[in-house]
Amino acid sequence: MALKIYNTMTRKKEVFVPLCEGKVGMYACGVTVYDFSHIGHARAMVVFDVIQRYLKSIGYDVTFVRNYTDIDDKIINRANEQGVAFNEISERFIKEFDDDMRALGVEMPTHTPRATHHIPEMITMVQALIEKGKAYEVDGDVYFSVASFSGYGKLSGKNPDDLLSGARVDVDERKRSPLDFALWKKSKEGEPYWDCPWGRGRPGWHIECSAMSQKYLGETFDIHGGGMDLVFPHHENEIAQAECTTGKPFARYWMHNGFVNINHEKMSKSLKNFLTIRDVLQNYHPEVVRLFLLSNHYRSPVDFSDQNLTEAKIGLERFYALLLDLRTIKKAAKAEGGGLEAAEQAALDEVRGLPGKFTEAMDDDFNTAAALGHLYSLTRTLNGIVDRCKKDAGFTLDEAIARDAQKVFAHAGKVFGLLENPPAAYFENLKNMGSASHGISKQEIEGLIAERLLARKEKNWARSDEIRNSLAEKGVILKDSPQGTEWSFKQN
């Protein structure tokens, strides 16, 4: 089937046909850099990271642009609070954001423009809108005239007349309409500014993305995305500015990811349930966070809770455990068909059918939840074969099953940004993270296990049980087998 994308503009899934064959231009709104990024930001960044990864995997040459808003009221206010220049705040939090993205495994986009580096392009766009009668200047401020654009509201479905009737009395009587929004703001005393035809000032938020996206992707490009909260007014205003400037369609497909709720409540600073990315990564491996964020369809809301994160952790461990088994248990080449038992042949068929199912799911508006469902199903099937290999010394894993399965998981992992660690290294990292959160080091645990082994050899069962119980109190679970003692941390 062809790739279909749900277009917010048309409110339906559409077959994706790029503007230029074989190429995709995509813009996703970035962050305003005045504070640490939160888990809601993480969802948007991971979603569009996976989208561009998948587009590349099916052969597209992708130009992906994601901006930094590095001049804004929030940045200025934070700078004033701390008594520093605005760019000290923005520089700091650009670095912090980039560090968070690296930790989450989010690939660097093709271009990451900063608003302050593109002021000339914004001034040019504002000037063009004034000349076309779509904007007007009042005492150094420039406003877009919403009434001048007949298409206003087509993305959000909002009717300008309804917006007007519901508008509160506007405190700025200089505006022709309460709906008109700022393209350029006259700088107040002590605020940063740039010289322009209307005096000293700085750009409004909406004009930034219109100017930067068109500079790197052209007047019309393929995909524009961001969080659901940006549909109105930000993206609606971007469309108005851009299309009134060029007279051409702006973006051809509009994509928006759903919200992140925390324990069934909308994430909010006022509710004190606001989690930064780095706070979350203190307790969960980055791939666990990615898997959690991809476990729901990108347009659906997702509930951030310890239970859901734990489920994602368990799921990721199952993938890695299977990959470790596929590498380490004994294998042998067997003839297909008559040489394979029915269960083995069924497993091989499922492995070889997985790429088609994976593509079908992703082609259906990037349905990562369905694609992951196929991977979980395959994991259950393969674990049945692996368990028999472990229990039956005379039974070996078919090399074709192991080889093809590893390729399947490697491909899915590359698209999702998962399974990018050697399995043994992943479990080692997991133990180190658990040691930090449980207050006991890996060396202490392994030392106590060695002491317990000696106690068992000496038939000192009381000391053996004492060590087991002591570790259990710290959340360390022991599993004895003929091959030795394995340990792990108890799931929350």
Residue 173 is inside which H or E element, if any?
A: none
Shared domain for 483 and 393, answered yes or no, is no
Q: Are residues 231 and 365 located together in one domain of the fold?
A: no
Q: Write down how long the chain is.
A: 492
Evaluate whether residue 271 is within a structural domain: no
Is the separation of the CB atoms in 215 and 190 below 8 Å? no
Identify whether residues 456 and 372 lie together within a single domain.
no
Tell me the sheet residues that pair with 480: 485
- Helices 119-131, 236-246: axis angle to 10 degrees equals 70
Residue 408 has pLDDT above 60, yes or no: yes
Whether residues 380 and 243 share a domain: the answer is: no
Q: What total number of domains does the chain contain? A: 3
Residue 296 lies in a domain: no
How large is the average pLDDT for residues 298-304? 96
* Per-residue pLDDT at 459: 86
| 126/170 same-domain check | yes
Res. 492: pLDDT tops 70: no
pLDDT > 90 in the chain, percent: 76
Q: What is the pLDDT of residues 77-134, one digit of tens each?
A: 999 999 999 999 999 999 999 999 999 999 999 999 999 999 999 999 999 999 999 9
Structural domain contains residue 461:
yes
Q: Which residue is associated with the tokens 């220049």?
A: 85
176 inside domain: yes
Q: What pTM was estimated for this model as a whole?
A: 0.89
Choose the weakest-confidence range: 82-86, 277-281, 408-412, 425-429. Answer: 425-429
What does the pLDDT read at residue 472?
81
Note whether 392 and 245 are same-domain residues. Answer: no
Q: What is the mean pLDDT of the chain?
A: 92
CATH code at 314? 1.20.120.640
| Residue entry with tokens 């028999």 | 388
Tokens of 485: 């003692």
- Return the closest-CA partner of residue 279 out of 492, 103, 66: 103
Residues 337, 345 contacting (CB under 8 angstroms): yes
Q: Is residue 52 part of a domain?
A: yes
Handedness of CA 197, 198, 200, 201 (dihedral sign): negative
- 35-46 average pLDDT score: 96
The pLDDT > 70 percentage for the chain reads 95
Domain shared by 122 and 255, yes or no: yes
Q: What is the CA radius of gyration of the chain?
A: 28
| Residue finishing a domain among 266, 297, 317 | 266
Tokens of 242: 């851009």
Residue 394 lies in a domain: yes
SS3 85: coil
At which of 215, 249, 266 does a domain end? 266
What DSSP string describes 341-390?
-HHHHHHHHHHHHHHHHHHHHHHBT--HHHHHHHHHHHHHHHHHHHHHHH
Contact between residue 124 and residue 309 where contact means Cβ atoms under 8 Å apart? no
Compute how many other C-beta atoms are within 10 angstroms of the C-beta atom of residue 237.
25
155 and 92 together in one domain: yes
Stretch among 68-72, 314-318, 484-488 having the lowest mean pLDDT: 484-488
395 lies in the same domain as 446:
no
In a domain, residue 279? The reply is no
The token pair at 367 is 């349905």
Whichever domain contains 118, its CATH number is 3.40.50.620
| C-alpha count within 13 angstroms, C-beta hemisphere, residue 22 | 0
Question: Distance between CA atoms of 38 and 279, rounded to whole angstroms?
Answer: 9
457 and 346, same structural domain?
no
Residues 168 and 235 in one domain: yes
Residue 93 lies in a domain: yes
Any residues with CB less than 8 A from the CB of 142 and at least 6 apart, and which?
126, 130, 135, 136, 182, 183, 184, 198
The CA-atom distances, in angstroms, between 347 and each of 315, 327, 378, 411 are 20, 17, 8, 18
Read off the pLDDT band of 247 (50, 70, 90): very high
Residue 170 above 70 pLDDT? Answer: no
144 beta partners: 135, 181
pLDDT per residue as tens digits for the range 423-451: 999 988 877 766 555 667 677 787 878 88
Q: Which range among 255-269, 386-400, 438-452, 477-491 has the greatest average pLDDT?
A: 386-400
Show the DSSP H helices in 134-199 as ranges. Answer: 160-166
Q: Long-range pairs for 124-130 at CB < 8 Å and ≥24 separation?
A: 124/211, 125/183, 125/207, 125/210, 125/211, 125/241, 125/245, 126/183, 126/184, 126/196, 126/203, 126/207, 127/197, 128/245, 129/183, 129/241, 129/244, 129/245
Domain extent at residue 462: 439-489
Provide the residue type at 381 as one letter. Answer: T
Same domain, 31 and 55: yes
CA distances from 264 to 273, 304, 307 (A): 11, 8, 12
Give the integer Cα–Cα distance in Å for 152 and 164: 13
Cα–Cα distances in angstroms (integers) from residue 121 to residues 196, 207, 238, 398, in the given order: 12, 10, 14, 61
Report the pLDDT value the prediction gives residue 439, as an integer from 0 to 100: 64
